[in-house]
Structure 1
Amino acid sequence: MKNPSNPPIARAPTAGTSPELPQGRPRLNSQLLFGAQNEIVIEHQGDEYRLRITSNGKLILTK
């Protein structure tokens, strides 16, 4: 399902090519993932990773 607020952006063509649309990358809004929290745990291949929002609004992923 495509998010209407984030339509695909055409890329500038290079010599001899036509513009392309981004291919198959899902886009998730961080507010949807985090909700009211500033840290979530992601399980990947049996390991836990923590994704957190810093006080400056940046994302940090740690194992």
Structure 2
Amino acid sequence: MTRDQAQIVEDSFTAFGPVTLEMGETFYDNLFEIAPTMRALFLTERLNRRCALHRYSPMS
């Protein structure tokens, strides 16, 4: 990933700010609805996944 691409990702998280946790939950809900077999690849609890997404957000 280039520096410009990384900046775009960071700017995207900043733009979404406080809805990051909700976005994370929606992302995983949609992922598992579309591809239920993917659930087996995610062994952590749902809350831990959401917190991990939030932790990597520049707004956290």
TM-score > 0.5 by shorter chain: no
- Normalized per residue, the structure richer in strand is 1
Q: TM-score range by the shorter chain?
A: under 0.3
Q: Which structure has the larger Rg?
A: 1
- Normalized per residue, the structure richer in helix is 2
Q: Which has the higher contact order (CA 8 A, sep 6+)?
A: 2
Using the size of structure 1 for normalisation, the TM-score is: 0.24
